[in-house]
Amino acid sequence: MTDVHILGVGMTRFGRHPDSDAADLGAEALLEAVADAGIDARAVEAAYCGHVFQGMVTGQRILAEVGLAGLPLTNVENACSSGATAIREASLAIRAGEHDVVAAIGTEHLTSSFKGALTPDPSDPEAAVGATMPGVYAMRARRYMEEFGMTREQLALIPVKNKANAARNPLAHFKTPITIEDVLESRPIADPLNLHDCSPVTDGAAAVIVMSDRALRKYGGDRAVRLAASALRSGSVDVEPVSMTFEPLTWATAQDAYERAGIGPGDVDLAEVHDCFSIAEVLRVEGLGLFEQGSYPAAVERGEADISGRLPINPSGGLIGKGHPLGGTGVAQVVEVVRQLRGEVGDRQIEGARVGVAHCRGGKAVGIEGAACTVQILVR
């Protein structure tokens, strides 16, 4: 069976795009990925497009804009993991021998379709009584403080770190570093979370070109990064009390990915994780096995998760700093890891990085543990 390689990556600026829509952004990212791969766009044999609130045929509109209408195209909706799932589907098509060159796109024009705090799925019973994602994660933060002694100042260091990284990322939504005081004095959202603890409403898109061994030999692979694993799981129904400070879904998906890639968490050099809220970074990093449960806030305080630290987390700025255009997020995480492993990110570069993880999780946070979780492992 062939390996799967990523040869080309592309990404728009994340932020507000009042003069573009999701298809425009997706087309921009796709053309950049094709150019980065050094191939003719007509070499692409199929495409998968992840998005959440963009309607039924966004992927087809993207292909039409870049002159590729008529290709096999699958639109993918899997909550915040939509773009990451598009990459997984593209990789499966390569491994199955169905195609040799496939595009995976993630896009979202969130500012035109969503204005306030996301809720769990409307069918969820907790949503019916007013649960929102900020409220749920605020409860998880408060419980983590109770169980492990995390201070409010330690939690604030996560957006401080991520927005410092974003300030060095020309494609990030936010460009200004912040302080602990900025976090603590920002507008309250759901105690203990304030505005700077939350990811923003963002427009943006990203794309990757995945290839088989055969295609890589044809087009040249000096800059290719191997997609060693792409794992996907969905959450189980909550039928008994569950921990608010540990994520079995992230843990199980990560174990699947590590096994497929033939590595362990100790082999990872950097990780892009789904920090939709500051506490989410804590839960996901520990769920991935990268830090022991209860240890991550103090590790951040010691600088271990900085770009120059022992294990950099979210060097792109993460969802809090780079932005969170839902369908675009999972692909953008992979774009960052690929560029890190290729040594192409300037003063955000992690020296000697060879193995990177991209973790994305989407869907309602109550009633069902999580709708979808993806863990992608990339190796150079």
Residue ranges per domain, the chain?
A: 5-114+202-226, 125-198+230-379
CA-based nearest residue to 276, from 333, 226, 227, 234:
333
Closest CA to 150 of 321, 326, 297, 324: 297
Place of tokens 């991520």: 162
Rounded to the nearest 10 degrees, how much is the dihedral formed by the CA atoms of 277, 282, 287, 291?
A: 160
357, 334 contact by CB (below 8 A): no
The first and second tokens of residue 149, run together, are: 């002694």
Class of the domain covering 5-114+202-226: alpha beta
Q: What is the DSSP code (8-state) at residue 99?
A: -
Q: Which tokens is 328 given?
A: 């675009």
Mean pLDDT in runs of 10 for the chain (380 residues)?
97 97 98 98 98 94 98 96 98 98 98 69 65 89 98 99 99 98 98 98 98 96 95 81 87 98 98 98 99 99 98 99 98 99 98 98 67 96
Can you give the pLDDT at residue 255? 99
pLDDT at 297: 99
Please check whether the two domains, 5-114+202-226 and 125-198+230-379, share a CATH topology.
Answer: yes
For residue 309, what are its two tokens? 């630290």
- In sequence order, what are the residues at sequence separation of 6 or more whose Cβ sits closer than 8 angstroms to the Cβ of residue 218? none
**In the prediction, which pLDDT does 235 show?**
85
**Catalytic positions, please?**
80, 324
Which amino acid, 48? Y
CATH number for the domain running over 125-198+230-379: 3.40.47.10
CB 80 within 8 A of CB 133: no
Q: pTM of the entire structure?
A: 0.96
Q: What's the pLDDT at 122?
A: 62
